[in-house]
Structure 1
Amino acid sequence: MSFYAQILSITIIQLVAIMSPGPDFAIICRNSLVYSRRTGIYSALGISLGILVHVTYTLVGIGVIISKSIVLFSFIKLLGAAYLIYIGYKSLKAQPSGKINATKSKHDLSRQQAIRIGFITNILNPKVTLFFFSLFTQVISPNTPVSIRALYGLQMFVFTLGWFTLLAVAISHPIVKKRFLSMSHYIEKTMGVILIALGIKVALESARY
């Protein structure tokens, strides 16, 4: 595969992976609708920082250890599942908070909380670990310099941040939020059910290479 063909293939694979619905997508939808655009964008930043961690350990070879160790992979998988179920449970337990402004929720999260939720959701997602392991061992040529591989990782960071920021901006648009305003409490509960379902799905999935 030529260098330019490799770049095109990796770009397409990355975009498809980022836009595919999953835990990251659900968290952005939840935080942007239930809280605010600001919270959604900071959650996107947290997810993107998680991507950098995946890139780093894959480049230094730890990704191979994680993907090949059943015990370690299962531990990360169960931690990620537990976290999604925990966030979902909190959403189910949420109480109505009265009228909420269309651009900012009354009980908005802090910047640190939003980043932390996005980061933990991504870093504990075992499918992201497998994605990077597959990308760097099966798609990218073994002869590709480490610096170029790092650039591919940085590209994934930029794509992730851009896509989820756009998603947060779109979902938190005043017109969109206004339509869901009267149902905000039920939306949070629905997102809670979705997150719990995703957590259970993650826990039951087996590693596939």
Structure 2
Amino acid sequence: MLWASLLFSFAMVHVAALIAPGPDFALMLRASVSGGRRYAFSLALGLASAIMLHTAVVTFAADLLQQYLPTLMRILPWLAAAWLGYLGVSCWRAAASVSAAAPLEPATISLKNGWWTGFMTNALNPKAYVYFFSVIAGMLPHASPLAFKLALILMFFALALLWFGLLGWALNIARFREGLQQRQGFILRGSGAVLLIFAALLLWQGYLRLFS
């Protein structure tokens, strides 16, 4: 039950982070409008593949960090809280002003290019490294079971593919696209509130680790 609740907590943080404004969302919006659903899905698969890579690297390095770098592990929750707090505030700011993405050039629209663009955008994003390193290593308990780590990696990949895939599909529906844009402020404020709540929880966890 403990591992299931922890997996659920990771899922909540990850979903809120996926919905938060950033280059991924702008890329999906542009691809969906100009490249069609197939191109948008290939882009979503590339984004999710990079997320799976980040998750796998950090998840299997967390035990070494906890074992050999105890001082670093004490400050990781603070880093995670700062990052999630930044994302939460960004959501609230973005809710007030959302800009439309520029159209793609026809020559760039191909399925292979879509996957590669999505993968490289996420893999080379320095903020992604900060997010996965701080959140996963900061929240992952010492000596976590292998099954839990594999479940975490697959869950992060599946949630990312589901979100970006649904986003690419929905943005190609004229009515839904208009409705999503009208409700985007509410969506961003909701995800921002979730991120800020988890930031506060991580601050408390960081306090306990620092003074334990």
Same fold (TM over 0.5): yes
Distance in structure 2 (CA, Å) of the matches to 1:135 and 1:54: 12
Residue identity (%):
27
Q: CA deviation at 1:8?
A: 2.1
Distance in structure 2 (CA, Å) of the matches to 1:3 and 1:52: 20
SS in 2 for 1:36: helix
1:170 aligned residue? 170
Give the letter aligned to residue 123 of structure 2.
I
Distance in structure 1 (CA, Å) of the matches to 2:148 and 2:30: 35
2:181 aligned residue? none
| TM-score of the superposed pair, with normalisation by structure 1 | 0.59
Quick check: which one's helix share is greater?
2
For residues 43 and 11 of structure 1, do their structure 2 counterparts lie closer, same or farther at Cα, with a shift above 3 Å needed?
A: same
| Alpha-carbon displacement from aligned partner over 1:75-95 (angstroms, at most 9, x marks no partner) | xxxxxxxxxxxxxxxx68x78
2:14 aligned residue? 14
| Alpha-carbon displacement from aligned partner over 1:89-142 (angstroms, at most 9, x marks no partner) | xx68x78xxxxxxxxxx6571110111111111111122212211232211211
Q: CA deviation at 1:174?
A: 4.8
Aligned length: 143
Q: Is the 8 A contact 2:33 2:171 kept in 1?
A: yes
2:117 aligned residue? 117
Structure 1 gap ranges (5+): 69-90, 96-105, 180-208
SS in 2 for 1:142: coil
Structure 2 gap ranges (5+): 66-71, 73-101, 179-205, 207-212
2:51 aligned residue? 51
Give the letter aligned to residue 61 of structure 1.
A
| Alpha-carbon displacement from aligned partner over 1:4-41 (angstroms, at most 9, x marks no partner) | 33122111111111111111111100111122111111
Q: Post-superposition, which runs of at least 4 consecutive aligned residues in structure 1 deviate over 6 A? A: none
Cα RMSD, aligned residues only: 2.9
